[in-house]
Amino acid sequence: MTLEVRHEAEIARMERVLRSYGGVLTRDRLFSECGAAKWPVLDNFRVALDDAIASGRVRPLGPELVEVPSER
């Protein structure tokens, strides 16, 4: 699996987890529920979350909470 494919899969996992919890979680809970502690590179979670936010796939709600925008 290429890094790009894995990175996309990590972001998609974040979106699925957020939707399964009603769309909003703390960053720490999202990390836990995504199983990010078992990802090959520990800081991939932060990088993936930053990219998800930059692309609009995940939205920050202050310093601790993040949400997935509703599907249109």
Tell me which residue of 15, 24, 16, 29 sits closest to 67, measured CA to CA. 24
d(CA 4, CA 1): 8
For residue 50, the model assigns a pLDDT of: 95
Rounded Cα–Cα distance for residues 57 and 42 (Å): 21
**CA dist list (Å): 36 to 6, 55, 70:** 12, 20, 23
* Per-residue pLDDT tens over the stretch 15-67: 999 999 999 999 999 999 999 999 887 678 999 999 999 999 999 999 999 99
Q: Given this model, what pLDDT does residue 67 score? A: 97
- Domain coordinates of the chain in residue numbers? 3-67
The strand pairing partners of 24, in sequence order, are 67
Q: What is the pTM of this model?
A: 0.89
Residue 11 pLDDT > 70, yes or no?
yes
CATH code at 3-67: 1.10.10.10
Q: What are the E-state strand segments in 1-64?
A: 24-26, 59-61
